[in-house]
Amino acid sequence: MDTTFPPMKNDLILRVACGEETDRTPVWVMRQAGRYLPEFQEVRKEYDFFTICRTPGLACKITLQPLDRFDLDAAIIFSDILVIPQAVGMEVQMVPGKGPTFPSPLKNPDDLKKLTFPVDVNKELGYVFEAITLTRHRLNGRVPLIGFCGAPWTLMSYMIEGGGSPTLSKAKSWLYRYPENSHQLLKALTEVSVDYLEGQVKAGAQLLQVFESHAGLLGPESFSKFCLPYLEQICKSLKQRLGDKAVPMIIFAKGANSCLHQLANIGYDVVGVDWTIDPDKARSLIGDSVALQGNLDPCQLYARKDDIARATRTMMDKFGRGKLIANLGHGIYPDVNPDHLKIFIDTVHSYSQH
Ligand SMILES: Cc1c2[nH]c(c1CCC(=O)O)Cc1[nH]c(c(CCC(=O)O)c1C)Cc1[nH]c(c(CCC(=O)O)c1C)Cc1[nH]c(c(C)c1CCC(=O)O)C2
């Protein structure tokens, strides 16, 4: 596929990620392409979730949907973090009303033998690379395209729990009972992730986000042992491999407020924060070396429109000028009115230029 792309018309988010001053705050929204959009639901009526992920034309179409409605500063490729567990041989189904479900989750360390490591990412995940290249062409330089993956601990916890869990007690029990096997799995997932992200950049991704969505259920010691070293390795190995083709990277470790200072020092250019921490506190813990991303409470979008605008301005005041990528503090919920999201996006733009 041709990976010579049209010149960029808006590279605001890339400049902020690289530490440059800009005259406007960029904004994008986690899960901006998804179920709260009626146009997504239309496509979803016809196709299974993972069929959409595996069909570059459909993944591209859905990636572009929110850009046609809102004045966003980035697109994020439509896919899911669970494509890596699939690539190592696990079955994952998207069950309506229940979310992702693994019919045969990992039960004990013996099950690790059933997984296929190493993975040939071009063979198993080439469909994502194709979707990225196609989307870069269709974007025609409008805004940068974000690639992503799930972080090793978050993937490991899904592979053991077999789906969502409020406690992650099965996955956490591995960390305490089988620490060596846990490290073995985390290391193998780290290696696939580096290959996978490298392929995404070569296909055209211009910024990468690593989602450590399940950081918040670990105590500080487990986080330091089972998350941090792998997050660091993903970033550093990838940047080393890509050399002058390296792209800026965002780490979003949801619920890791007590470890935020550590996240600033492992090579990422941007640290994402959830809504449970005040922006000024996050900035003082993290320091000025990286840009921050966040952090409006996704539930704030249920409020009246003028309250959404007010909360957005307060959030921006607390982050301070510069080094900010505005976003929600987690993915948008499926029952949010898209017009309310528009208030958030437009307020970021108008207020950052006032
Ligand atoms: C943990 C996680 C997953 N997937 C993802 C994460 C990390 C972010 C986070 O913490 O929320 C990441 C993800 N999932 C999806 C994207 C697409 C890009 C985007 O617009 O952000 C991204 C970046 C699409 C999706 N991923 C999923 C949907 C809905 C699927 C459907 O149509 O049935 C979409 C649009 C399914 C999914 N996939 C996953 C869950 C928990 C669910 C169910 C969500 C729910 O029920 O609310 C795993």
Q: Where are the domains of the chain?
A: 12-352
User: Catalytic site residue 321?
Assistant: no
d(CA 49, CA 47): 6
What is the model's pLDDT at position 118? 95
What is the model's pLDDT at position 97? 87
For a ligand 1 pocket test, name from 65, 78, 80 the mutation site with the most ligand atoms within 8 angstroms of its C-beta.
80
- Ligand 1, atom 26: closest residue by C-alpha: 80
User: Catalytic site residue 31?
Assistant: yes
Each residue's pLDDT tens digit, 28-71: 999 999 999 999 999 999 999 999 999 999 999 999 999 999 99
What is the model's pLDDT at position 226? 98
Cβ neighbours of residue 221 under 8 Å, at least 6 residues apart? none
Q: If you average pLDDT over every residue of the chain, what do you get?
A: 97
CATH architecture of the domain with range 12-352: Alpha-Beta Barrel (3.20)
- Ligand 1, atom 21: closest residue by C-alpha: 31
* Residues in the chain where the model's pLDDT stays below 50: none
* Residues flanking ligand 1, CB < 6 Å: 30-35, 44, 49, 76, 78-82, 94, 99-100, 148, 164, 211, 213, 254, 331, 334
Q: Return the CA Rg of the chain.
A: 19
What is the model's pLDDT at position 154? 98
Q: Do the Cβ atoms of 34 and 52 come closer than 8 Å?
A: no
Measured CA distances, 34 to 62, 78, 266 (Å)? 8, 9, 31
**Catalytic one among 11, 73, 80, 195?**
80
User: Catalytic site residue 35?
Assistant: yes
CA atoms in the 13 A half-sphere facing the CB of 347? 23
d(CA 217, CA 214): 6
What is the model's pLDDT at position 182? 98
Q: Do the Cβ atoms of 209 and 250 come closer than 8 Å?
A: yes
What is the model's pLDDT at position 165? 95
Cα(252) to centroid(ligand 1), Å: 14
